[in-house]
Structure 1
Amino acid sequence: MKHKFVFALLFVSAGVYAAPPTLEPLLNSIAERLEIADQVALSKWDSHKPVEDKKREQEVIASVTAQAPSYKLDPAAAEQFFAAQIEANKLVQYTHLSDWQFQGKAPDEPRPDLIKQIRPQLDELQKRLLQQLADFIPHRADPQCPQWLATAVHEPLNDPLRQLAMIRATAELCIYIG
């Protein structure tokens, strides 16, 4: 189940300007967070807990909105971004759980502890994502932004679930001005 996606945004084609260097690390961290969703799904499978965890989601959103100003981010922008990350992660979890129900079993892989191992990993990644989002903010309104994202999430992925999850996770990164 281990996937490692690294986004290399070194493209320049007719009418498309190269993506800013701040986008690649942001996409890689988003992909890393989606990889952790695999571990969360295994934990949920073993514990028979539902994917939906409103309390935890509210804690994450409250944390990012509180931290946003220290990264020079608008709290609403941080909330919107992390809500998308949560939704993308749930998409991965629901898909895995459905697949495992169909197969009658989950993969035989080591199971990290949700509370002691996975959540601290997510909390640490949250700080990096906030900084990377802040670094990318000046480019959100660039007219090429939607093209950068579309190219990045469609080209390197041969896994439809990862592609769909990345599309969901990045859906609100660009600001449409029109």
Structure 2
Amino acid sequence: MPRTTLARGGVLLAAAALLTLPVPAQAHVSPEPAVRQPLAPLVGLSARRVELADQVAAAKWFTGKPVDDPARERKLLADVARRSPALGLDPARTTAVFRDQIEANKLVQRALHARWRAHPAERPRRAPDLGAEVRPALDRITTGLLDELRRTWAVRTDGGCAGRLRAAVAHERGPDALHRTGTERALRSVCES
């Protein structure tokens, strides 16, 4: 079996295992001021993008389209690389961040498809319209993420980025373990230090 198939299978098993875990009660954490959480808006946008994976997964479920969409992925990555210099961002770094966003989204989609195959009663009841409903929201998030990458450049390139990112992620409460894992996956390349 090819290594990529094994790796993909491992991701699916891990994601499927997350779906069966009970969702623990969140400990109350008092929010820190925005000044101390400069990465919070970036984390929030990434979390919203991961949550939209549910609608993308549902649309693909009904159409039978695969989770992977290399043409759309290439288009998004080319777009953010093209827009980066005008924002003072390195196109290669920006592309890395958005590649992580895409992989996080696909992780959630694959896990949901696996769940729906195993539990037919949980399948979506309707197919969202990707063109009219989902893609415009994803486009707005893309613009927001680019703006946040520009705004947080100094924070993302200093030695304290990883700690600030962990703190911001801890304050972002996703709906469940799968989406929290997806959000963490989406942010792997945010820190440049």
**Which category of TM-score, normalised to the shorter sequence, fits these structures?**
0.7 to 0.9
| 1:102 alignment counterpart | 118
The answer to whether the aligner puts 1:115 opposite 2:131 as a matched pair is yes
Residues 81 and 117 of structure 1, relative CA distance in 2, 3 Å threshold? same
| 1:167 alignment counterpart | 184
Deviating beyond 4 angstroms after TM superposition, the runs of 4 or more aligned structure 1 residues are none
> Where in structure 1 are there 5+ consecutive unaligned residues?
1-7, 12-16
Counterpart of 1:171, as a letter, is R
What is the alpha-carbon distance in structure 1 between the residues aligned to residue 169 and residue 44 of structure 2? 11
Give the 3-state SS of the residue equivalent to 1:73 in structure 2: coil
| 2:163 alignment counterpart | 147
| 1:73 alignment counterpart | 89
**Within 5 Å, which residues of 2 pair with 1:37-76?**
37-76=53-92
Q: Which has the higher contact order (CA 8 A, sep 6+)?
A: 2
The answer to whether the aligner puts 1:132 opposite 2:132 as a matched pair is no
Give the 3-state SS of the residue equivalent to 2:41 in structure 1: helix
Give the 3-state SS of the residue equivalent to 2:152 in structure 1: helix
What is the alpha-carbon distance in structure 1 between the residues aligned to residue 61 and residue 121 of structure 2? 9
The answer to whether the aligner puts 1:84 opposite 2:139 as a matched pair is no
| Residue identity (%) | 36
Quick one: which of 37, 49, 52 aligns to 1:19?
Answer: 37
Deviations along 1:65-84, one digit per CA (max 9) or x if unpaired, are 11111222111111011001
Residues 158 and 42 of structure 1, relative CA distance in 2, 3 Å threshold? closer
Deviations along 1:84-109, one digit per CA (max 9) or x if unpaired, are 10000001101111000100254445
What is the alpha-carbon distance in structure 2 between the residues aligned to residue 9 and residue 82 of structure 1? 27
Offset, 1:120: 2.0
| Aligned-residue RMSD, C-alpha | 2.2
TM norm structure 2: 0.76
| 2:17 alignment counterpart | none
The answer to whether the aligner puts 1:10 opposite 2:32 as a matched pair is yes
